[in-house]
A = this chain, B = another copy of it.
């Protein structure tokens, strides 16, 4: 999973029924968690009611579907946790 911050949201009326009520957030990965040099933001579905400014753990790829309790959804990114605290050893 990667760490990032919620920076915005997205409206789309034309989407599958199964995702009709779902909130789509824009998340900016923190510096150490960029998946590629060009990927500054990702669109993630939210089930934990995260808001702009929250630090979140984002699950990427196929496992993200299970954040909604089903494997039959076209979803590749989901907010998986809202971060309280990070402890990093220089080690």
Contact = CB atoms under 8 A, between A and B. Distances in A.
Interface in A35-51: 35-44, 48
A65 to B, nearest CB: 5
Contact of A1 (B14, B44, B82): B44
Interface of A is mostly: mixed
Interface residues of A, number: 64
Given A3-B10, A14-B48, A63-B65, 9 more contacts: A8-B88, A15-B48, A19-B80, A26-B88, A32-B39, A32-B41, A65-B66, A66-B71, A69-B72
Interface of A: 1-3, 5, 7-16, 19, 24, 26, 31-44, 48, 52-53, 57, 59-67, 69, 71-78, 80-89, 91
